[in-house]
Structure 1
Amino acid sequence: MKLYRILDMNDERNFCTLENGMMVAFDQMKEVETVAISVLMKTGSKFEKKEQSGISHFLEHMAFKGTNTRTAKQIAEEFDMIGGYFNAYTSREKTVYYAKVLKDDIDTAVDILSDILQNSSFSDEEIDKERKVVLQEMAQTKDTPDDIIFDNFQEAAFPDQPLGRSILGEEEIIKSLSRDQIIEYVNSRYGFNNVIVSAAGNFDVNNYNNLIKSKFNLLPGKSENLEIKSDYRGGESRINKDLEQVHFVLGFEGVSYYDDDYYTQQALSIIAGGGMSSRLFQEVRENRGLAYSISAFGSSYADNGIFGIYSSSSDYNINELVDVVITELHKMLDSITEEEVKRAKAQVRAGLLMSRENPVSRAEKFASNLLIYGRYVPISEVIDKVNAIDPSKVQKYLRKILSNNKQPTISSIGKIDKLYQYDTIKNKLKV
C-alpha cells in the first residue's frame, strides 16, 4: 500500500502526506550532531468552545504526566538518560510538542513523543495534581501586570470570541475540567489529519520515515476541520490597581500571515519600537526618560492580526507617554527614512538566518509553514519579500491602520485615575 503522496529522498527539505492525512516533514542539517523533532497539532485556544476555555493548554501539561507504559518520572528519566531536551507550548492556533537529542537517539525521542501523544493515561490523580499547577500559573500571571495586560488587551480586541480568551483559560472551568472532557477533546482535535511531524538536524531519512509510520499509528481518526472566523472590534480594558506604574498597551487591527503586508508590519514594529535605535525608544526613554522600556509588536493569525505598542510609566507621566507615542506615530506617516527601513530589514533577515542554525527552530518553522501555507517556504522567498519593503510601503501601511474605521484597542493596569479617557485617546489618534 502506497503511503506517500509526495517525497523525494534526494531533497534535503521535503514533506509528505500519509494516506491517513498526517503530514511528515524533514529538513536535513548534516553538519550538526543533533536532531529536533516537532509535533504540531493544528489546534489551540482559538478552537475551544467557551465551556472548554483553557483545555488545549491543560492537555499540553497532561501529556507529560504518564502514559499506559511510562510514569511521569520514567518519561523524565529516559530523556535525562540520553541528555535530551523536550518541552511543549500552546498558542491560539497550534499546540507544539518537541524534543532535541543527539542524532543517535532519534528512535528514543520519537518513541517517547508518540507515546505521550497517543497513550497518555490521564489518571484522575494526575489531573488533580496538574490542575493545581495550572491554577498556580494563572495566579502568577494575574500577579504580573506585564503579563495579564496582554490577556486583557486580547480580550478587548476580540470580545466574546475564542481568539480573545486567555490561552490559560478561566479559573472556574479549569477547576471543573474532567477526564472525560479531556479525552473527548483529544479524540476531536488530535486526529491524524490535524498532525504535522517535522524533523530537522542530522538523521537518516529512511529510518525517520519508518519510525513515524510505525510509531504514530494510534492517533484518533479524522478530526473535524473547524473554520473559526475572528472579528477584530477593538475597545478598552481599564483596571485600577495599586501599582508603582501604569502599564499601557495601544493597538490597532493588523494583518494575517497571508496578507501582502505581513512583513511590512514586522518592519513597522522594528522601526517604531524594535530596539534601542527605534523611534519610540529614542524619544520615550533616551530623550524624555518617561519609561524604562517601550516596544512595538505585530501578532498575526489566519484571518487577521494586531499591531501594538506596550510600555509603562508612573501615573503622573502616563499621559505624556501616550502623547509622545501618538505624536511619533503621526510623524512616521511621512518621515520614515531609507536608513530606518534598511536597519529594520537587516534585523528581520538576521533573525531569519540565525534561526536556520538551530534544529529546533528549523523543525518548528517547517511545521508552521505546512500549517499556514501547505508547503515549505524557502528562506530566499521570504528574504525577497523583506527586501521589497521601502519607506513608502511602511508609511502606507501605518496610515491604513491609523485610519481604519475600526476603533483602537487600549489596555491599562495601575493607578489609572490620571490616564486619558478612551475617547480622548481615540480623538488624538485621528489622522
Structure 2
Amino acid sequence: MINNIRLKNGLRVILYPIPYVRSVTIGYGIKGGASSDERGKKGISHFLEHVIFKGTRKYSSYEIRHRIESIGGEVNALTGREYTLIFSKVPDKYLDRALDVIFDVVQHPLFPPEEIEKEKKVIIEEIKMYEDSPAEHLYDRFISGFWQDSSFGRSITGNIDEVKRIERQDIVEHFSRFYHPNNAVLCIVGKFGEKYALDLIKHLSENQMGEEHRYHPFISPNFAPTYVEKEVQQVHFIVGLQSLPLKDEKIYELSVLHTILGGGSTSRLFETIREKEGLVYTIYSDVNSYHNNGLLYVYGATSTDRFEKALSLINEELNKIRQNGVMEEEVYDAKEKIKGEFLLGVESTFSIMQHLFNRGIHSLPLLNTDEILEKIDSVTIDGVNSLANSLFSQKRALAVLAKDTDRLNTGVV
C-alpha cells in the first residue's frame, strides 16, 4: 500500500514498503530544475546538484560517499527541467544511515568556495562532453528553439560562459529559495517499517520556511527551423511537435501512439526507414511530458545524400497515421510492450521510487502497479487514432546538425 503523508513543516512523504526485497531507495526531490534557473545563471540548478555533496555540517565530501559506498550502496543526484532529485539506494538495514546522509545534504550543505571553483572545471568538461555528442547537442539546440529561448528551453547543464560566472553567493541564494520542506517530496521504496521510517523522518526533517515553487506555464512552440553546423560525417535531425502534459488524461494513448510510431525495433519508423530502406542506423521517437508542456519528437542520423528521403519518409508516416489511423494489432502489441517494460522496471526499488516521486512532485494520483496496468489496458484504437489526428495535424518543427546545412533540402517537413 502506498502512503502519502504531509508533515507539519510541509514536507510531502511517500512511503511504499515492499517486504520481499532487501534494498531500500530514498529520493528527496525539489520542485525546481533547469527551467527555474535565474536569468544570466543558466545551469545553476545543475551546479548546485553537484556541489551539494561537497561537505555538510556533519560530514566531509569523502565521508558522505564513504558512509554509503562502504555498505554497498549508492548516493547521487540528477537535475531535470522541473525538479532536482537527491537519492540513495542501500541494503534495507541501513535505512537510518541513508536518511541521515540525505537530510544532512539537503539541509546543511557548506558549499566550500574552493570546491565550487574546482567543480566548475568538472561541469565545464561535462558541457563539452555533451557538445561533442551530436545527438545531445542537437537536442539542446532544438529545445531552445522550440520553446522560444524561454527558461523552459534552457540546457540543463547551462553554457560555459554563464557557469564560469556563478559564485558561491549565487548558489547559497538559489539553495535558500528552493531547498525547504514545503517545496520538496521525500519518497521511500523497499523493505522498511513505516512507523520506524516516519519517526526517523520527523526527527531529521527541520522546519525551514519557504514558498512552494510554481511550475512553468504553457509555452506556445516556435516552428522556425534550427540549423547547427559542426564537423560531423552524418546529418543529424529532429522532427518535433507539441504533445501532452503529464496531467492530460490521454497520456496513456500518447504512450501507445509513440510506441507504434518509433518506440523500438518493431515500430513503423524503424521498420520502414532502417529495415526496408536501409537509410539509417538510428531512428526513434520519444515523448517528453512536463507539468504544463509536452513534446513528441523523432530523431535520426544519415548521410547527406540520404537525408531528404529519410525526412520525407518520416513525414509520410506521420501523415499516414493521421489519415488512415493505426491497426488494432498494433495497439494490442504496443500495450503489451508498455506493460512488459513497466513490470520489468518495477522489480527495481529505484525505478519505483522514480515513478512515485515523479507523480508526487507533480501532484498526480499515486497509482499502484495494478492501477497503471488498468490504465494501459483501457486504451482503445479509437482513442489512439483520435489523438494521432489531433497531434499529427499540427505544424512540425525541424532541427538539423550537419557539416554544411546549406546543402540540405529541408522543405519536406
SS at match of 1:297: strand
Equivalent in the alignment of 2:401: 413
Unaligned runs of 5+ in 1: 1-11, 427-431
1:267 partnered with 2:256:
yes
Q: Distance in 2 between matches of 1:22 and 1:375?
A: 17
Residue 234 of structure 2 aligns to which amino acid in structure 1? Answer: Q
Report what 1:174 is aligned to: 163
> Who is 1:223 aligned against?
211
Alignment match, 1:137: 126
In 2: Cα distance, 1:425 partner to 1:288 partner: 18
Quote the residue 2:63 is aligned against.
74
1:374 Cα deviation (Å)? Answer: 4.6
Letter paired with 2:49: E
- Cα drift, residue 393 of structure 1: 2.2
Aligned counterparts of 2:262 and 2:364: Cα–Cα separation in 1: 32
Give the conservation status (yes or no) of the 8 Å contact 1:47–1:226: no
**Deviation per CA, 1:228-267, whole angstroms, max 9, x where unpaired?**
2131322221012221100000000101011122111111
Which of 8, 11, 18 lines up with 1:29 in the alignment?
18
Partner residue, 2:246? 257
Aligned pairs for 1:21-100 within 5 A: 21-100=10-89
Aligned residue in 2 for 1:212: 201
- When structure 1 is superposed on structure 2, of 16-25 and 362-371 the one drifting more is 362-371
Mapped contact 1:20–1:193 kept (Cα < 8 A): yes
1:134-192: CA deviation from partner (whole Å, max 9, x where unpaired): 01100111111011111011111101211111011122211011111111111111121
- How many equivalent pairs are there? 410
**Which of 290, 296, 306 does residue 279 from structure 2 map onto?**
290
Residues 284, 290 of structure 1: 8 Å contact kept: yes
1:343 aligns with 333
Tell whether the 8 Å contact from 2:138 to 2:228 is kept in structure 1 after alignment. no
1:399 and 2:386 correspond: no
> What are the within-5 Å matches in structure 2 for residues 277-426 of structure 1?
277-333=266-322, 334-404=324-394, 407-415=395-403, 416-421=405-410, 424-426=411-413
Root-mean-square deviation (Å): 1.5
Answering whether residue 163 of structure 2 is matched by residue 192 of structure 1, we say: no
> How high is the TM-score relative to the length of structure 1?
0.92
Alpha-carbon distance, 1:320 to partner = 0.7
The alignment partner of 1:417 has SS state of helix
Residue in structure 2 matched with residue 9 of structure 1 by the alignment? none
Structure 2, gaps ≥5 residues long: none
The percentage of counterpart residues that share the same residue type is 29
For 2:205 and 2:247, locate their aligned partners in 1 and report how far apart those are by CA, in whole Å: 30
Whether the 8 Å CA contact 1:38–1:197 is kept in 2: the answer is yes
What SS does the corresponding residue of 1:357 show, helix, strand or coil?
Answer: coil
**Aligned-residue offset at 1:63:** 1.5
Residue 224 of structure 1 and its aligned partner are, at CA, apart by: 4.4
Aligned residue type for 2:216: I
CA distance in 2, matches of 1:75, 1:227: 31
| Distance in 2 (alpha carbons) for counterparts of 1:295 and 1:156 | 21
TM-score by length of 2: 0.96
Deviations 1:91-122 (A, max 9, x none): 00111111111111011100111111111110
CA distance in 2, matches of 1:403, 1:254: 12
CA contact (8 A) 1:29 1:201 kept: yes
Q: Is the 8 A contact 2:25 2:88 kept in 1?
A: yes
Structure 1 runs of 4+ aligned residues shifted over 3 Å read: none
SS at match of 1:114: helix
